[in-house]
Chains A and B, each alone.
Chain A
Amino acid sequence: MSSSVVNSNDMRRPRHKRVLPGLGLTLGTSVLFISLILLLPLSGLVMQTAEMGWERYWFVITDPQVVASYRLTLVSALWASLFNGVFGLLLAWVLVRYEFPGRRLLDALVDLPFALPTAVAGITLATLYSDEGWYGGWLSGELGIQVAYTPLGVVIAMAFTSIPFVVRTVQPVLEEMAVEEEEAGMTLGASDWTVFRRILLPSLWPALVTGAALSFTRSLGEFGAVIFIAGNMPYVSEVTSLMIFMRLQEFDFAAASAIASVVLGVSLLLLLLINIWQARFLRRFQGR
């Protein structure tokens, strides 16, 4: 807005006018909502867990079957987020940098895993990847790879439900990026790989890591999509969220909360680390 438009009436008001009314009101509303939808359920979780002593808590969260489920969940989530890191970046790149028929449709399709009920996703994936399915029949027939009802199926379900995180965090950064920087690099004789590594990746890195981390934490808690394709064999293909579900089936709310608190703790820690790392990274690279 140019200063000539401002009339004398407005001049009397304080200069720091914000779009939203008053800091007090907006902050108050935000805190209230965070409390209602986040902190209240979380404190409920803590209270449920607090019903048991430390000894019992430790016993519940270190049960060998539960520990086996942590291992499967962590490893699968790691593979899923790595996969998403690579292919999500590729997808974002294609969507931002190229014009082709159906681009808008593809762009919209990326969000589908979010919109689709996870149970539907799980059943669909299990159908596709079972020996009778389109992919599964070929994979097991030609390559001897079993996907459905194995840990590999867990990875696929996790990757499917969380890929939008990577695409949607990387996309805006790619859009902001000036093509001139790459062109400058090329005119100075940099190879494609060098341009990618020295110019593109440093700017993309924070967004990519954030996206992959979100994808990872989302995968840690995934239930609906996973249980239909996992096979749910004890010590082999049980995810942690299933263990929580089992404790709930026994009406043992405290034990369920205890295991949930472990997943939550890991997710929170990871998100916190990413945030700290990102702040440092930005300071170092962009001099902020």
Chain B
Amino acid sequence: MLNKSRFFRPLFGALLVSASLQASAADQSLLNTSYDIARELFASYNPMFAEHWKEETGHTVEIRQSHAGSSKQALAILQGLPADVVTFNQVTDVQVLHDRGNLVSADWKSQFPNGSSPYYSTTAFLVRQGNPKGIDSWADLVRDDVRIVFPNPKTSGNGRYTYLAALGYAQKTFGDDQAKIDEFMKTFLSHVAVFDTGGRGATTTFVERKIGDVLITFESEVNNIRDQYSDDQYEVVVPKTSILAEFPVAVVERNAERNGTTEVAHEYLNYLYSEPAQRLLAGFNYRVHNETVKAEVADRFPEVDLLTVEDIAGGWPEAMKNIFSSGAKLDQLQRR
């Protein structure tokens, strides 16, 4: 008996330690898995929500964050990362959680307003001080003297939006002339100076390494960079035609159920539509749906003809299959 307890006591101790590591001061803990460039946004939103939750229910909640490329995050969740909610920048990355792992419900797109996309953005340009190359539209990007930086569409949702936005412009300009559209896209791709794997990498390349004449990324990111470098080093150009970039959110039902966080997870996402949260989102240069907030910030968001992925490629599954998968359009256009 004595021997037994001597053996079990350290074991019990170890269990206790690991249990105490998991438990925290808060009543509940929520893991939000998000895309690469949303760090600052959710770092601001989390305390706001925690306060709201405390007022509503009297409970405290601790929100943990995980950030990486959203496809990588989806992969991690499929492989067992116990995320309660996802806030992505790619509809397909949420859909795959349903298709591959049945982790989110089939009707996730109708669980929250606006197709479960509490905010949206578009693809815009950042150019160097004084816009020396005179870049105003997508057409300027295929000029011989222009070098472009945007993340690789093969590894980045951000990059896929850029590709589709350029394609949307080409379709609008050349109509049904597929050969001309291909030619445009081919030239566009050949002007890329560096293909980083994610949005932040591309920003670093353009801003810190001074490579390229134009950075193409989400309007939100473009404005955040401009705001950070207040001494007018950069200018924002929003092209007349661009793409509607949705930022889908969903509760990872299976994980939330297991973690007992279903309720708080739903409210976490729902509260993103509230007026204070929408104001916060607008502060991070995202376009929002709330009419009051929209009117307040109208001057900061120029009118853009926003094409949808459905308009351009027939939808995300089609875009992935016909354009971005191995051997599809993108690979063909880059073939040498």
Contact = CB atoms under 8 A, between A and B. Distances in A.
Whether chain B is bound by chain A comes out as yes
Contacts of B50: none
B210 A132 contact: yes
Interface in B79-129: 96, 100
A133 B210 CA distance: 10
Nearest to A245: B155
B72 A63 contact: no
A60 B320 CA distance: 18
A245 B197 contact: yes
B165 to A, nearest CB: 20
Interface stretch (A22-30, A105-113, A210-218, A227-235): A227-235
Contact of B334 (A130, A131, A149, A234): A234
B208 A127 contact: yes
Contact of A249 (B72, B193, B196, B334): B72
B209 interface: yes
Interface stretch (B31-39, B225-233, B282-290, B324-332): B324-332
Nearest to B331: A65
B208 A149 contact: no
A126 B327 CA distance: 30
Given A245-B197, A250-B324, A233 B192 contact: yes
Interface string A237-274: 00000100111111110010000000000000000000
B326 A255 contact: yes
A64 interface: yes
A148 interface: yes
Interface in B280-322: 320
Contacts of A123: 204
Contacts of A250: 154, 320, 324-326
Nearest to B330: A234
Interface string B182-198: 00000000001111110
A151 B113 CA distance: 48
Nearest to A228: B201
B209 A130 contact: yes
B75 interface: yes
A44 to B, nearest CB: 12
Nearest to B336: A235
Given A245-B155, A251-B96, A63 B194 contact: no
A148 B96 contact: no
B326 A247 contact: yes
B211 interface: yes
B335 interface: yes
Nearest to B152: A232
Contacts of B217: none
B148 to A, nearest CB: 12
Contacts of B327: 63
B209 A126 contact: yes
A63 B326 contact: yes
Contact of B195 (A63, A65, A148, A232): A232
Nearest to B70: A249
B71 interface: yes
Contacts of B192: 233
Contacts of A130: 208-211
A226 to B, nearest CB: 11
Nearest to A136: B209
B209 A131 contact: yes
Contacts of B71: 249, 251
A252 B154 CA distance: 12
Contacts of A242: 155, 197
B74 to A, nearest CB: 8
Contacts of A228: 201
Given A232-B152, A249-B155, A250-B326, A149 B211 contact: yes
Contacts of B208: 127, 130, 132
Given A232-B194, A234-B331, A249-B155, 7 more contacts: A60-B326, A130-B209, A130-B210, A131-B211, A149-B211, A249-B154, A251-B96
In the complex, the 5 A-B pairs of residues with the closest C-beta atoms, listed nearest first: A130-B209, A232-B195, A234-B334, A246-B154, A249-B71
15 contacts: A63-B326, A65-B331, A126-B209, A232-B152, A232-B194, A233-B194, A234-B334, A235-B335, A235-B336, A242-B155, A246-B154, A248-B75, A249-B75, A250-B326, A251-B96
